[in-house]
Structure 1
């Protein structure tokens, strides 16, 4: 595309309450919003700088600034000019949005992803798509279940959070690698006995902790364990039993990471702030399914603008974790609709 005007700005969105994981806590979501205009149409995208990967608001803004004056900039060129991360994500998604505005089509039409009403998709069909290799462009349904995150805290406080979210069908629990982890999961299970449970350790476990705690989690019907070990020390997973599927998060950013995950993980967490946008995320989903991995579509803590592109990928996933806006004190206009733990498609006023 020629003659594009690219602008980027920081936005700060307060959270409802403190959000904690094993690496630290926060009280607000800091995001970068990119707008791309051809003079008539405007596209928007959102990225969340990730401290774990040495990203900051300043570094993301600087990366976007570095490509503002590149001639004939488009999504494909952006893949070559910027590394995978929040800056490329925000710009890539803004360019997708601009394409929809220019063409008058929805983003799933441009990506060749058909839409199916959830009422037309049987439970058997849904489970089949999770267990079998899917096509590169599997139909997306208009409603999907998403997990809701209970942040790391004492067992009592996590149980209270679970009771408050007891109507949510799936709860994702942040754990910290200490002896309290089992008590935390037991307390949440007691507080929300009907909820399905996912675990996210955020690289905090040791192999000894894994061996000790996983059998007990199996008895509590935990469905998934996400990133138990540091990304640079996850080879130990090749030597451990996996009675519960293990999901790669910090260990997988793009399609280039997929080959090394074999025999270590059963599931890959696809986040657009890791892949650097929807363009690479579509490739990663395809490569992961071809390689026999199931998918979890995840997110950083951000607004509906950041969730909307990832929502396009959700129907091909075994698990969806796109609850970022639910953790905010308020969301932006034309927000995604969350109803009884189910997430709808974005409106054209929001994105795509």
Structure 2
């Protein structure tokens, strides 16, 4: 089996501010696996939070090349090498894509989820001036979005959420402080807010005692994100939260995501499917799992100035698969990704 990759840039349409950073761009690495003339694709994006940059990703791919070259797709799927979750998820996506393309079936049919329907996705509104956030909310709902995720953890949280609610009275709202609140602040802020659909990761990861205290006083479903990276994490969260955010780049791919989803259900927890900023190629694996989620927040491709892939929709607030084999995404002919120096394919 052959492994190769290509490095390119993903510029955001506008800066995205969250409680811990401001993002204007990510770099991405497209991973390609080829076996007997069939190709599968995956994507890993750079992340300061997850300590992945392009040199590190390339180093890791170079290191696993011999193991990949000596494996069949079926063997690689069951014995993926130990890697950081984001890189592991890209390889996992590529081998799933290859196997599904070879079988002539959409990926969801190969992962025990044969029924798939169009699904609304949230769109993320970053921290900003309340009037600007309201204007964005009005524009998004006019386009068809029925779910909005509002980043909070700034100076004007209450004013921002109130303004967004006035601009989008019928939208479901998810609040995400990215760990930027204290438990006490969460209680105070929620007391002053209109009804919202969920509160995601209000506290820094690891503060489970405070999370339990907050849940007793939280009037909306409480969802863990950074606290829920593995199935073991989810077991520890039972009774402390109402749901968990499953991100393939955080847990390591489709198989691990399914394990977390099954663990969450057994613990009585709901599931949110989330993502990092990525192209449609990077978002597509999670789209095939949306039948398992109460909340779907798969808008990473919608935040880009130019998405080099297409095939999962979402521009009007609804994700739609094409039904094509594999991930179901194809390169967009009218968009040229901005390249970075590329070390090229792994030597065979």
- Tell whether the structures are fold-level matches, with TM greater than 0.5: yes
In structure 2, C-alpha distance between the alignment counterparts of 1:223 and 1:33, rounded to whole Å = 35
Q: Structure 2: how far apart are the matches of 1:145 and 1:257?
A: 28
Gaps of 5+ in 2: 329-348
Residue matched to 1:169 = 146
Q: Which residue of 2 aligns with 1:125?
A: none
Which residue pairs with 2:120 in the alignment?
A: 145
| Match in the other structure for 2:172 | 196
Length-normalised TM-score, structure 1: 0.86
Residue 14 of structure 1 deviates from its aligned partner by: 1.5
Secondary structure at 2:26 match in 1? strand
Aligned residues: 319
Is 1:75 the counterpart of 2:86? The answer is no
Q: Distance in 2 between matches of 1:346 and 1:61?
A: 31
Q: Give the equivalent residue in structure 1 for 2:111.
A: 111
What's the C-alpha RMSD, in Å, of the aligned pairs? 1.7
Structure 2 CA distance for aligned equivalents of residues 349 and 316 of structure 1: 20
The match for 1:7 among 4, 18, 41 is 4
1:109/1:349 Cα in 2 relative to 1: closer, same or farther (>3 Å)?
Answer: closer
Following TM superposition, by how much is the alpha carbon of 1:232 offset from its aligned partner in structure 2, in angstroms? 2.1
Whether 1:97 aligns to 2:113 is: no
Structure showing greater relative contact order (alpha-carbon pairs closer than 8 Å, 6 or more residues apart): 2
Cα shift at 1:334: 3.4
CA deviation profile, 1:29-83 (whole Å, cap 9, x unmatched): 32221000114111000122331122222222222221111122512211xx224
Misfit runs of 4+, over 6 Å: none
Q: Does 1:49 align with 2:46?
A: yes
| Equivalent residues of 2:284, 2:327 under 8 A apart | yes
Query: For each residue in 1:302-346, what CA deviation from the matched residue of structure 2 results, as whole angstroms up to 9, or x when unmatched?
Result: 111111110111122111001111111122243322263111125
Match for residue 300 of structure 1? 276
Determine the C-alpha separation between the residues in 1 that align with 2:184 and 2:218.
Answer: 14
| CA distance 1:64–1:96, change in 2 (3 Å) | same
Question: Which structure 1 segments of 5+ residues have no match?
Answer: 116-139
User: Counterpart of 1:123?
Assistant: none
Separation of aligned partners in 2, 1:199 and 1:96 = 33
